[in-house]
Amino acid sequence: MTVKGDLLIRGGTIVDPARNFFGKADILIRRNKVIDISAGENIEAENVIEADNRLVLPGLIDYHTHLFHNGTQIGIHPDSALLPQGVTTAVDQGSAGVTNFDSFFETVMTSSQTRIFSYLHASPAGLSTLTRCLEAVDPKLFDVECAHRLFEKYDKQLLGLKIRQSKEIVGEWGLAPLKATIQMANELACPVVVHTTNPPGEVDELVSLLRSGDVFTHVYQGKGSNIINEGGKVRHAIREARNRGVLFDTADGRGHYAFSVAKSAIADGFEPDILSTDVVRSSLFERSVFGLPLIMSKYLNLGISLQNVVKACTSTPARLIGMEGKIGTLTPGAYADVAVFKLKEMPMQLQDVFGERMICSKVFIPQMTVLNGRVVYRSLEF
């Protein structure tokens, strides 16, 4: 029997945690879907890619990005920044609020090849900059009625609400903005993502407010109260939160991780649910962030298994987006999003904002990206 397709990726090592598959196999694509092929079948394809000595992964999902490039100072261009790094789906984390989400949707989400979803910032104007003009977090300014209309209008694109809970942002408001955001989320029946760097008070109180499906982002941050207790172990409140369904995202950014916290947590068996970048214009292609493959390299070298690294930026975020089985996997019938990498022996020094250094001995080097069955990036050396 002959099976025909448009693109055959042959001879690579597939890592697909969604179906617990790790091994050599071929991927056949017809139009925009992955096609089932069985042993012994004759395969014909218009284009054949030889992927020997390469890792073939589902298209990556970066769950924490900032993409409102024409409406904020921090936004990046999705296609030029993400597709060459194997990222085919991205989630914007609160770049826009109720006053400007329509503009974000029309100017970025609908004009990009990259598949984009978003969280709506609880602050009406969103996150326009990181330093000079911080978002308004007075709960009296939050507009639940406008949020309701947007969630109805963009029910397939909007995933939940975002709020930042740093001392320098909330000041005397403390945890009131988070409490108000959760109240809004209860009315909207959606999850909340909360920025946790340098929280106003102990992290135990902050995490106690979170519900099943909410996301604690910057899990390994080291400013102020963090997830590690005085004994060097993960706090009981953090483990309790995970047990009730709270998810934990790295969202490393330039300053939202500390190697000391990450090493202690991983040694204590507390790995992240999600790996993401929190990439902004000033950190794109900069050594501390660069892009999702470098974040993956960091955690691989910190001792997380290859399968778990891939799971944290494919099948887990796909489930949170509501597209389990459609993206974040190479199972037959899924959208044909594929990321091909070379895992290169390439000693690279990384440094966190506290001055601690580590050497990455293995680094994910992007080779090719396929989005909806079409090659959208290919390295000259591949």
Domains of the chain and any CATH numbers: 2-57+332-378 (2.30.40.10), 59-321 (3.20.20.140)
Q: What is the pLDDT of residue 129?
A: 78
Condensed to tens digits (0 to 9), the pLDDT of residues 357-367 reads 999 999 999 99
Q: What is the pLDDT of residue 288?
A: 85
What is the pTM assigned to this prediction? 0.97
In SS3 terms, the chain reads as CEEEEEEEEEEEEEEEHHHCEEEEEEEEEECCEEECCCCCCEEEEEEEEECCCCEEEECEEEEEECCCCCCCCCCCCHHHHHHHHCEEEEEEECCCCCCCHHHHHHHHHCCCCCEEEEEEECCCCCCCCCCCCCCCCCHHHCCHHHHHHHHHHCCCCEEEEEEECCHHHHHHHCCHHHHHHHHHHHHHCCCEEEECCCCCCCHHHHHHCCCCCCEEECCCCCCCCCCECCCCCECHHHHHHHHCCCEEECCCCCCCCCHHHHHHHHHCCCCCCECCCCECCCCECCCCCECHHHHHHHHHHCCCCHHHHHHCCCHHHHHHHCCECCECCCCCCCECCEEEEEEEEEEEEEECCCCCEEEEEEEEEEEEEEECCEEEEECCCC
Condensed to tens digits (0 to 9), the pLDDT of residues 209-235 reads 999 999 999 999 999 999 999 999 999
Low-confidence stretches of the chain (pLDDT beneath 50): none
Q: What is the pLDDT of residue 6?
A: 96
